[in-house]
């Protein structure tokens, strides 16, 4: 199905099932432990051996020798795989660095060997017996040191300029010129990267934890020099990914190599200390923002440049993309700069680009608003735009940022905020409020599904879409139930199998909208098939309560499959509309914090997110996504930071003991409001994504609230107490 014009009225608009807050249909499986994750397919592989990965002890250099004899002779050891005996390997398109190192080492904790043994404990003990000698080479690990030498945009991300920024900025009545930094961050999903591999001849089956089944299958086949049809990837349940499981990673490859060498199934779960250095992370940024306004606070010039680093071939952190679209202003400039660093791979982490970009931009907006003497909410409102600022002929399909801000200000009690910082005290706590706009582009991807109808009226949906805890099972079931007029409990959803039609996968906030649109397309085809079987007009037939009606004629839906199960398959393909319309999602984030006036300890007191993100397919699962994202924003604002050993080139705090993330007690009150934002330009579902929007802007709202509480402006994340203490003694 081609989606090349705005959606008209369709069966989804009935909202009998879609749009209602249904419980997650996979919830009972997860709470009873019967939803099997990648490491738990014991029935299918009762004889699975255990793999344990050895990571490089240097960040850059070469392996000069590797002593394996003691490990090979250790109890229970079946085999050891290294670059010397793995055979010739390719490299997937989405892996800048080889997943198996040797003799060259690209980054710290790059896999250099996998030990396969009868038990996990035996594999771990044997791995400790491997002695590796390295020739360490000097590496580049400090973005700030590399920044002065990096002044050109990467070929993949050219600078964008509209009007005369330099001239307009110089002539502006009010100016801001400031630099902000965000640190390297880790995904820290609850479930580690885990895989179980099994060979049958030259065919490979992998149970894994991966967000993008088709990407994984393709790159795994390329790496192993296999035809894609010889690789099957299954990933029905994922215990968190946040972008860290978008791509093929070493647990999958090393399980496959170990299983081939051992001639039996092998399972691997990356040990937690290996994950931050061995997989991917959100790269650090240095962001330079300049904004000029007239005396009334209207933006006349805005520029945003961002520096980030990565291994050779890795992408930049696209931290300027929201600044191209969020606010009006005739004179504009954005640019990305990419330094080559010898740190582990940097790549997507929840809301890549906008999340770190808004951490800087939305502080800058507060700073220029204060300089102009305009309330921060009102400043954002007067600089709203309903068109792409660089292309005024291209309107936003839907843009309700102003409504988000006004609704949030009213609900949060913004009128009670004191504009002058450090004016509100509650005992020893200095109390402040902060606001930030949220923005995330609405991305869509081709997505397919297969739908079956059996003689009992049961509908089964198959697609390789994944569920990373987001509710994919439920919203896909809701879509099929709505389209075919059956109860939610009459729909079975099967996900995460590369034998199923290729979907959008989970990532980039495109998954829910694209995958349900793919199911919609398949259900349209099934409706036509059913109507033809029942002798009804496909264009007029209505599907409701298990019946199919056309005027006075009606028949039970199940009768169409009396002669055998009906099966159809289709995909949604998006074209042209994204060129005619700018499609984005918007939010307003409000936060109240307390800062201890003596210690600088910051506590979030309450949070509010008002979101305009298309039709909300399931308010219950969507709210869960947003409050999870808000919590992630608290971590980024106040505590999350991968500390780099700049002598040796690795992340020191590479486990959950030292990498701090928020817990329930850190955030006592969170509220989410969804505006009615049905968008026919987005898809037949008229939906958009919301899971990443809930993060975008949150950290800046917290930093702005801390400033309002204390008068101390912190431009370098995280906003830790040591950065506040110097400004606090005068307040005591």
Rounded to the nearest angstrom, the gap between the alpha carbon of residue 486 and the centroid of all alpha carbons in its chain is: 32
For residue 416, the 8-state DSSP code is G
Closest to 642 (Cα-Cα) out of 250, 269, 273: 273
Catalytic residue among 146, 579, 692, 730: 692
* Residue for token pair 């017996």: 129
The secondary structure of 162-212, three-state, reads ECCHHHHHHCCCEEEEEEEEECCECCCCCCCCEEEEEEECCEEEEEECCCC
For residue 314, the 8-state DSSP code is P
Tokens of 569: 């398959």
Q: Residue 225, class by beta-carbon neighbours within 10 Å (0-12 exposed, 13-18 middle, 19+ buried)?
A: exposed
Phi-psi domain of 37 (left: phi exceeds 0; alpha: psi -120 through 50; beta: other): beta
In sequence order, what are the beta bridge partners of 224? none
Closest to 731 (Cα-Cα) out of 542, 536, 600: 600
Q: Which residues, 6+ apart, have CB-to-CB distance to 315 below 8 Å? A: 154, 156, 338, 346, 347
Q: List Cα–Cα distances, 267 to 45, 125, 252, in angstroms.
A: 9, 16, 9
How many Cα atoms within 13 Å fall on the side-chain side of residue 303? 21
Q: Residue 546, class by beta-carbon neighbours within 10 Å (0-12 exposed, 13-18 middle, 19+ buried)?
A: middle
Report which secondary-structure segment, H or E, holds 531.
helix 511-534
| Phi–psi pair at 600, nearest 5 degrees | 80, 5
| Phi–psi pair at 208, nearest 5 degrees | -145, 175
The secondary structure of 534-593, three-state, reads HCCCCCCCEEECCEEEECCEEEEHHHHHCCCCEEEEEEEEECCHHHHCECEEEEEEEEEE
Q: Which residues, 6+ apart, have CB-to-CB distance to 676 below 8 Å? A: none
| 3 state DSSP class of 731 | helix
The β-bridge relationship of strands 425-426 and 299-310 is unpaired
Q: How many other CB atoms are there within 10 angstroms of residue 644's CB atom?
A: 20
Strand order from edge to edge, sheet including 61-67: 104-105, 61-67, 131-136
Yes or no: say if 690 and 619 are a contact pair by the CB < 8 Å rule. Answer: no
Burial 81-114 (b: 16+ CB within 10 A, else e): bbbeebeebebbebbbbbbbbbbebbbbbbbbbb
Q: List Cα–Cα distances, 254 to 80, 109, 114, 199, 275, in angstroms.
A: 10, 14, 7, 13, 14
* Residue for token pair 């997110």: 609
Rounded-to-integer distance, Cα 631 and Cα 164, Å = 40
Rounded-to-integer distance, Cα 332 and Cα 336, Å = 14
Rounded to the nearest angstrom, the gap between the alpha carbon of residue 706 and the centroid of all alpha carbons in its chain is: 27
Residue 692 a catalytic site member? yes
Q: Which residues, 6+ apart, have CB-to-CB distance to 487 below 8 Å? A: 481, 546
Bond preceding residue 673 cis, omega within 30 of 0 = no
**Residues with catalytic function:** 692
């Amino acid at each position: 199905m081609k989606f090349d014009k705005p959606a008209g009225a369709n069966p989804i608009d009935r909202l009998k099932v879609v749009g209602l807050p249904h419980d997650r249909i996979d919830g009972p499986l997860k709470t009873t432990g019967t939803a099997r994750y990648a490491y738990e397919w014991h029935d299918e592989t009762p004889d699975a051996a255990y793999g344990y990965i050895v990571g490089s002890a240097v960040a850059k250099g070469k392996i000069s020798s590797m002593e394996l004899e003691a490990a090979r002779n250790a109890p229970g050891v079946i085999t050891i795989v290294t670059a010397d005996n793995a055979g010739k390997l390719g490299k997937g398109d989405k892996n800048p660095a080889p997943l198996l190192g040797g003799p060259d080492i690209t980054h710290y904790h790059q896999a250099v060997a996998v030990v396969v043994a009868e038990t996990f404990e035996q594999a771990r003990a044997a791995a400790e017996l491997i002695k590796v000698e390295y020739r360490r080479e000097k590496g580049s690990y400090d973005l700030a040191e590399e920044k002065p030498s990096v002044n050109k945009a990467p070929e993949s991300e050219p600078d964008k300029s509209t009007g005369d920024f330099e001239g307009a900025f110089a002539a502006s009545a009010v100016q801001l010129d400031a630099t902000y930094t965000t640190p390297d961050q880790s995904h820290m999903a609850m479930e580690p990267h885990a895989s179980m591999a099994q060979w049958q001849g030259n065919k490979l089956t992998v149970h894994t934890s991966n967000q993008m089944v088709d990407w994984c299958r393709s790159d795994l086949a390329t790496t192993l020099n296999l035809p894609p049809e010889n690789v099957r990837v299954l990933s029905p349940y994922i215990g968190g990914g946040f972008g860290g499981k978008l791509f093929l990673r070493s647990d999958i490859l090393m399980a496959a190599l170990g299983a081939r060498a051992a001639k039996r199934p092998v399972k691997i779960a990356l040990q937690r200390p290996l994950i931050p250095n061995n997989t991917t992370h959100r790269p650090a940024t240095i962001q330079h923002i300049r904004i000029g306004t007239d005396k009334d606070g209207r933006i006349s010039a805005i520029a945003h440049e961002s520096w980030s680093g990565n291994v050779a071939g890795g992408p930049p952190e696209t931290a300027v993309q929201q600044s191209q679209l969020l606010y009006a202003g005739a004179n504009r400039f954005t640019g990305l700069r990419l330094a080559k660093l010898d740190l582990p791979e940097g790549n997507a982490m929840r809301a890549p680009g906008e999340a770190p970009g808004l951490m800087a931009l939305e502080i800058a907006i507060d700073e220029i608003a204060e300089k102009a003497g305009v309330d921060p909410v009102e400043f954002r409102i007067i600089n709203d735009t309903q068109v792409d600022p660089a292309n005024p002929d291209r309107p936003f399909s839907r843009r309700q940022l102003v409504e988000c801000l006004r609704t949030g200000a009213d609900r949060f009690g913004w009128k009670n905020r004191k504009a002058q910082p450090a004016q509100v005290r509650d005992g020893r706590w200095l109390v402040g409020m902060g606001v930030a706009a949220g923005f995330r582009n609405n991305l869509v991807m081709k997505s397919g599904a297969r739908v079956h109808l059996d003689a009992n009226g049961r509908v089964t949906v198959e697609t390789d879409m994944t569920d990373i805890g987001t509710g994919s099972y439920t919203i896909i079931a809701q879509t099929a139930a709505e389209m075919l007029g059956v109860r939610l409990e009459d729909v079975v959803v099967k996900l995460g199998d590369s034998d199923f039609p290729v979907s959008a996968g989970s990532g980039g906030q495109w998954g829910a909208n694209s995958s349900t649109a793919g199911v919609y397309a398949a259900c349209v085809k099934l409706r036509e098939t059913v109507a033809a079987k029942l002798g009804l007009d496909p264009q007029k037939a209505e599907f409701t309560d298990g019946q199919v009606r056309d005027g006075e004629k009606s028949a039970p839906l199940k009768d169409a499959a009396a002669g055998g199960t009906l099966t159809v398959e289709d995909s949604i393909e998006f074209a042209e509309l994204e060129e005619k319309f700018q499609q984005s999602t918007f939010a307003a984030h409000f936060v109240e914090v307390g800062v201890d006036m003596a210690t600088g300890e910051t506590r979030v007191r309450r949070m509010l997110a008002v979101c305009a993100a298309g039709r909300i397919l399931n308010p219950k699962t969507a709210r869960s996504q947003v409050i999870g994202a808000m919590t992630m924003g608290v971590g980024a604002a106040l505590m999350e930071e991968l500390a780099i050993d700049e002598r040796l080139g690795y992340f020191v705090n590479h486990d959950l003991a030292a990498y701090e993330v928020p817990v329930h007690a850190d955030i006592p009150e969170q509220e989410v409001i969804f505006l009615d934002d049905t968008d026919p330009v987005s898809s037949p579902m008229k939906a958009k994504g919301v899971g990443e929007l809930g993060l975008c802007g949150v950290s800046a709202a917290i930093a702005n609230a801390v400033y309002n509480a204390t008068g101390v402006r912190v431009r370098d994340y995280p906003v830790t107490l040591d950065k506040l203490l110097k400004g606090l003694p005068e307040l005591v």
